[in-house]
Amino acid sequence: MAHAQLRLGHPQAAESALLTLEHATPEWAALHRLPRVLVGELLTRGRPSARLRELADRLQATPARLKE
């Protein structure tokens, strides 16, 4: 869901979905790459919220690099 929301241009909905995912299944979120990638992409869009920065810290996500 978060991936689709992000691709549709709804970053706040994607952030909310990722936070819900982490709350429901913290072990899964921490062990899988996709949540980190999506959080990393969200970090590059505008000014990240405190909740998103905290989630990034917990998942050890870094801002996505732009492809050249």
For 12-61, write each residue's pLDDT tens digit.
999 999 999 999 999 999 999 999 999 999 999 889 999 999 999 999 99
Number of domains in the chain: 1
Assess if residue 48 is contained within a domain. yes
Assess if residue 7 is contained within a domain. no
- Return the pLDDT at 68: 46
Assess if residue 40 is contained within a domain. yes
Cβ–Cβ contacts within 10 Å for residue 67, how many?
A: 4
Which range marks the domain in which residue 48 is found? 31-62
Assess if residue 22 is contained within a domain. no
- Return the pLDDT at 67: 52
- Return the pLDDT at 46: 85
**61 in Cβ contact with 29 (< 8 Å):** no
Assess if residue 10 is contained within a domain. no
Assess if residue 42 is contained within a domain. yes
- Return the pLDDT at 66: 55
